[in-house]
Amino acid sequence: MNFERICVLGGSGFVGMALVSELASRGLFVRVLTRRREHAKALVLLPTVEVIETDVHDERELARQFMGCDAVINLVGILHDSVKGRVDRPEARRGDFHRTHVELPRKVIGACAQAGVSRLLHMSALGADPTSRSAYQRSKGIAEALVREAGLVASPEPGTLNGAKLTARRGMKVTVFRPSVIFGPGDRFLNLFAWLLRQLPIIPLASPQAQFQPVYVNDVARAFADSLGNPESFGKIYDLCGPKVYTLLELMQFLAHTLGLNRKLVPLSDRLSYWNAWLLELKPGAKIMTRDNYYAMQTPNVCEGNNPFPSGWKPAALEAVAPAWLQSASQRGRYESFRHQAHR
């Protein structure tokens, strides 16, 4: 099955840039929908990429942009529910998790139906759970349910919920990806902690035993691209992880060693971790940590083998690729990191 014209939402983001580049390298035509064209200016140079500035929250506009496409990929996501003090970010307000992670996927599914697009790839996250105490994980879990439901066909039957019953017959060809934390140049995880290590001689570390299984951004992009036309992936959920599990403390120690920094890391108790997250949540500007992050870290962010990716996908180890760009961080690199944290 050939999928040659792809529409990507979130293509100007960290994962999106890697994925669009991967798709373009395979000769596919990619339409990138973005709120601001300037955020995707690096993609404009790719010969098979079309960047369109539009409102992705307008379902009618989505349907119009999806026309003529063979597949849609939704990568849109946020890490925090509000960003105080950001008057230039009108979308940064309470309720953004629901708007971005639930309402947008619902609109994407509806727009796909209107435009006749039957293939949908959706970015979720490890820990996604509609019952989670974390609003982030809860919204991701609800979205997963919506996308999985789109892969089924409703047939009216008396006595069923709202007069409809979900059957096993295929509707849309959907695939859901649930990555652990994603690392790479420009990420919001390792680069944030590397910045903290450069700035502070002593670092209080909340939830030091929280577990992660970091996966390289190029491997995530390859997983999406490989699944696009693979019938084996239709209706599947894939957990994406690197080869090794780390605690947060171990990740910080790895970063300090890689950067050649001698820093004192002070692991905090569970109670102190909560209060530390609450204090950081009150800090104006870009968030380092919030109470919702604290709740999310209570669940190990690791792959348990329940939804493995097909054989042949071998993700790179953190130690194999991260030092090259971490160690080469120059003053220019740090400046770009600051700009990234400021969402500029």
Q: Which helix (H) or strand (E) holds 276?
A: helix 270-282
Query: What pLDDT was estimated at residue 82?
Result: 60
Residue 261 has pLDDT above 90, yes or no: yes
Q: Which helix (H) or strand (E) holds 165?
A: strand 164-170
Query: What pLDDT was estimated at residue 151?
Result: 85
Residue with tokens 């727009």: 111
Region 96-115: mean pLDDT is: 95
Query: What pLDDT was estimated at residue 339?
Result: 53
pLDDT over 70 percentage in the chain: 86
Q: What is the mean pLDDT of the chain?
A: 86
- 183-236 pLDDT per residue, tens: 999 898 999 999 999 999 999 999 999 999 999 999 999 999 999 999 999 999
Region 237-254: mean pLDDT is: 96
Phi–psi pair at 203, nearest 5 degrees: -125, 110
Query: What pLDDT was estimated at residue 171?
Result: 79
- 15-47 pLDDT per residue, tens: 999 999 999 999 999 999 998 888 888 898 899
Residue 282 has pLDDT above 50, yes or no: yes
- Burial label, 330 (beta-carbon count in 10 A; 0-12, 13-18, 19+): exposed
Degrees to nearest 5, angle at CA 137 with 132 and 143: 110
Residue 98 has pLDDT above 50, yes or no: yes
Task: Indicate the DSSP class of residue 23.
Answer: H
Query: What pLDDT was estimated at residue 156?
Result: 41
Phi–psi pair at 8, nearest 5 degrees: -115, 125
Q: Cα dist. 325→183, 255, 285, 333 in Å? A: 11, 12, 26, 9
Neighbours of 257 (CB within 10 A): 11
Q: Which two tokens stand for residue 167?
A: 């059957």
For 100-150, give the DSSP string.
Answer: IIIIHHHHHHHHHHHHT--EEEEE--TT--TT-SSHHHHHHHHHHHHHHHH
Query: What pLDDT was estimated at residue 239?
Result: 96
Query: What pLDDT was estimated at residue 312?
Result: 85
Region 307-331: mean pLDDT is: 84
Q: What is the pTM of this model?
A: 0.86
Region 74-80: mean pLDDT is: 91
Residues 6+ apart with CB under 8 A from 128: 137, 140, 141, 143, 144, 178
Q: Which of these, 254, 238, 261, 258, lies nearest to 125 by C-alpha position? A: 238
Query: What pLDDT was estimated at residue 41?
Result: 82
Region 156-185: mean pLDDT is: 67
Give 80's pLDDT tier (boundaries 50, 70, 90).
confident
- 135-149 pLDDT per residue, tens: 999 999 999 999 999
Could you tell me whether strands 49-53 and 182-183 are parallel, antiparallel, or unpaired per DSSP bridges? unpaired
